[in-house]
Amino acid sequence: MQQLTNFAPIFGLAGLVIAFLIYGYIRKQPDGNERMREIAEMIHHGAMVYLKRQYTIIFAFIAIVFILLSVFINWQTGIAYVGGGISSMLAGFFGMKAATKANVRTAQAANLYKPDTAKSLSIAFLGGSVMGLSVASIGLVGLGIFFLLYGRPETAAIINGYAMGASSIALFARVGGGIFTKTA
């Protein structure tokens, strides 16, 4: 079983390659007329501005928790927390980028292939799959690396720091995203 965990980062990288290929496929789909592209660009820009603002605040939170974990547990757990947080933020960035690029292409596919919705549904699902693959793949890479470095039972707190970092950032993104969509 120990040997299989050594392959986790490799499987994670393979998942990231697949996510990148799916993103490339989405980008090749028709993106509508000029007006659709303008609106899509405004949506994409607004989402990226929101993400940048949110991540600026989250970085401060990560720094505070890093200091607390380093002081009260150990510095390795603090580093793992930062790694988990950054991993979660990367996955969120990839997902937001893919989703905002897929939305106009989904609408265009719905226009082109009326009344058949299979193509537009396929593009929408593929856009979401980039986020899903990114989360799982980045998690595998990060956890795999920390497990290779600290894979003994007595160092479980360090690996738990990674999970705590990823989870806390996901919570912030979920709550912040809900507030953002209600005010937008």
Is there a contact between 147 and 7 (Cβ–Cβ < 8 Å)? no
Cis-peptide, bond into residue 115, ω within 30° of zero: yes
Other CB atoms closer than 10 Å to residue 167's CB: what's the count? 13
Per-residue pLDDT of the chain (184 residues; tens, 9 = 90+): 567 778 889 999 999 999 999 999 999 998 888 998 899 899 889 888 888 888 898 999 999 999 999 999 989 999 999 999 999 999 988 888 898 889 899 988 888 888 888 888 999 999 999 989 999 999 999 988 888 887 776 677 788 888 899 888 888 877 766 655 545 5
* DSSP secondary structure of 127-168: HHHHHHHHHHHHHHHHHHHHHHHH-SGGGHHHHHHHHHHHHH
